[in-house]
Amino acid sequence: MSRVILEVDHLTKAFGGLLAVNDVSFQMYEGEILGLIGPNGAGKTTLFNLVNGVYKPTRGHVRFLGQEITGLPPYEVVKRGLARTHQIVRPLNEMTVLENVVVGACFGAENLGLEPAARVAEEVLAFVGLAEFRDTLAGKLNLAQKKRLEVARALAARPKLLLLDEVLAGLNPAEVERMLGVIRRIREQGISILMIEHIMQAIMSLSDRVVVLNFGQKLAEGRPQEVASDPRVIEAYLGDPEMAKKILEEEA
Amino acid sequence: MKLLARPFFWLIVAATLVYAALPFWGQNVTLRETLVLSAIYVILATNLNLMIGYTGYVNFGSIVFFGLGGYLTLWLVADHRWGLYPAVLVAGAVTSLLAFLLGIGVLRLRGAYFALATIGINEAVKDFVANFDPWGGAEGIFLPFTAFKAMGGPGKALWTVYLLIVLVMGLSLLVAYLVKRSKFGLGLFAIREDEDAAVVLGVRAPLYKTLAYSLSAFLPAVAGGLYFFKNGSVVPDEAFNLHLSIEAIVMVMLGGQGTVTGAAVGAALYERLRGLLLTIQGLSNFHLVIAGALLLLIILFAPGGLMGWLYRVWPRLRRVLE
């Protein structure tokens, strides 16, 4: 087995009395695509926010490549090689697509100057298929393009680990296919990916392993097929497991 | 960046030189005084633009830097017999440092809360100075006549100070341009667009904002020192005049926030407009009403100001006029 790239260790985040993430632990290995799934409100995005430093955990630790990054601010985390995208896209609207990606390159892991950053940005834009929109204001892109811009900005930071938060949500089937291609090619570059996704077909075909969250706790972990047939997971998603089984059998 | 190869750099240099030369034509003192005021407006607006236009933080109390610079300079010159040059430089540096320390705290606030805090800062400093005996309390500081002697008498000193104020104006434009074309500026614009997203992208927002705030204090403080030295006195109400702070916001919005040309042109236009209104009988105290209405109209109908409108009509202009 290859090196551990990310270690989430008994991580807990409380908002008042609500435990949004409750004692979650898992490890991720270099080169792996790890899927993070769970019903709405399970704490997936909160977990991302804890890993990249948007929130400080109430308890627990996050280690990246063996180093403690718990509680570091996001701008430090990204410089160590851990970049992320946002579920609700956050383009820098009044800046061009190219400028958006240059920001990612300038302030990312390599801490580039403006000119080398522009070269990296052009390269990344071509990679995600946004090259023709380089001079468009980011606010004018459609949703699929904004999602690709999110990925481009994160990639421009030259990460070793990429957190993708529902980059497929809201896309039509053709756009989903295109984004899946981008994700596969990112993995081919040797970048590890931790992704939150609701489109099960996509997560099952892409992920090496899957972690399931429910009500802030880790419910299951394993290979996609194992997790998909786990009665607890089916129950979390569909309610009554017996009923769910019946439906699945009828479908088949 | 190869600065000398940039047309906009030479535009700034040329505009500053022409501006400096204008009143020497026939030793026109009236024109000189108008141009001093106009240059002060350009300095205030251009530096305020670093916060409003670049970083997206509306500083309602930017005049506090101008006033502090004035007070520190006159105090050093009048009470400690300093020369004008070291006095304005130290006044600028001290004001800038104070802004940095203040910024660490106050820039944790966002939006309207930050704006309110900046008004509070200006009013608090004004009240403090008005009760601070070493600075003359409400009476302020008066320069002894001898202060001008070192500069060849009052007549010559006023011309020298005029040139210095124009120099500070040129430097303000240059700093605004350099920041805009730098990695630092890119970080600021990212903060303006979406601070949380910028932080996730790696922009060290707390430091960047504070540096921008501190930088936006330096040249206005130097300008304040020069301006009140020229006037020969400084009193709290004039130094920390909140009206001028708000007028500076109108200038930035009028010309186009976030653009170097916009802030400068907005300031010059506003000075003309104000001058016009002041001379019309019955409208002499009306300029603030006009300023308020103007600000409202710009925000509602042309948030990009004059430059935003020009860029829309003529997109290629974006590359030429920064």
B178 interfacial to chain A (CB closer than 8 Å): no
What is the mean pLDDT of the segment spanning B287-302? 84
Q: In this structure, what DSSP letter does residue A39 have? A: S
Q: In this complex, do B202 and A79 lie within 8 Å of one another by their Cβ atoms?
A: yes
Contact B193 A94 (CB under 8 A): yes
- A180 CB contacts (<8 Å, ≥6 apart)? A168, A202, A205, A206
Q: Which of A176-185, B124-133, B149-158, B239-248 has the lowest mean pLDDT?
A: B149-158
pLDDT in tens, B109-120: 998 999 999 999
User: Which has the closest alpha carbon to B263: B193, B157, B180, B141?
Assistant: B180
Report domain extents, chain B.
3-320
The DSSP H or E segment spanning B56 is none
Q: How far apart are CA B202 and CA B226, in angstroms?
A: 39
Q: Which of A28, A81, A33 is nearest to A184 (CA)?
A: A33
Measured CA to CA, the distance from residue B67 to residue B190 in angstroms comes to 31
Mutate to test the interface with B, among A75, A76, A94, A124 (most CBs of B within 10 A): A75
The nearest CA of chain A is from the CA of B195 a distance in Å of 9
Provide the 10 A C-beta neighbour count for residue A201.
11
**How many C-alpha atoms does A51 have within 13 Å on its Cβ side?**
30
**Between chains, do A108 and B204 touch, taking CB under 8 Å as contact?**
no
The CA distance from A133 to B192, in Å, is: 22
Rounded to whole angstroms, the Cα distance separating B253 from B274 reads: 16
Interface of B with A in 213-242 (CB under 8 A): none
Residue in A with minimal Cα distance to B53: A94
In terms of average pLDDT, the best of A39-48, A155-164, A165-174, A242-251 is A155-164
- Of residues B274 and B165, more confidence is placed in B165
Answer whether residue B319 shows pLDDT above 80.
no
Asked whether B223 and B69 are in contact (CB, 8 A), the reply is yes
Output the CA–CA distances (angstroms, integers) from residue B306 to A199, B215, B282, in the order listed: 47, 25, 29
Question: Alpha carbon of A148 to those of A142, A166, B66, B107, B142: distances in Å?
Answer: 10, 12, 46, 32, 63
pTM as predicted: 0.92
Could you tell me which CATH number the domain at A1-81+159-252 has?
3.40.50.300
In angstroms, the CA A128 to CA A137 distance is 17
pLDDT (average), residues A146-153: 95
Q: If you average pLDDT over residues B247-273, what whole number do you get?
A: 93
- Tell me whether residues A78 and B202 touch, CB distance under 8 A: yes
Residue B241 tokens, joined: 């005049």
What whole-number distance in Å separates Cα of residue B257 and Cα of residue B297? 15
| pLDDT at residue B138 tops 80 | yes
- Res. A198 pLDDT band, cuts 50 70 90: confident
Q: Pick B193's closest partner by Cβ from A74, A84, A92.
A: A92
pLDDT for the residue B283:
67
**CATH class of segment(s) B3-320:** mainly alpha
Does the beta-carbon distance from B201 to A114 stay under 8 Å? no
Contact of A161 with A64, CB cutoff 8 Å: yes
Pinpoint the residues of chain A covered by CATH 3.40.50.300: 1-81+159-252
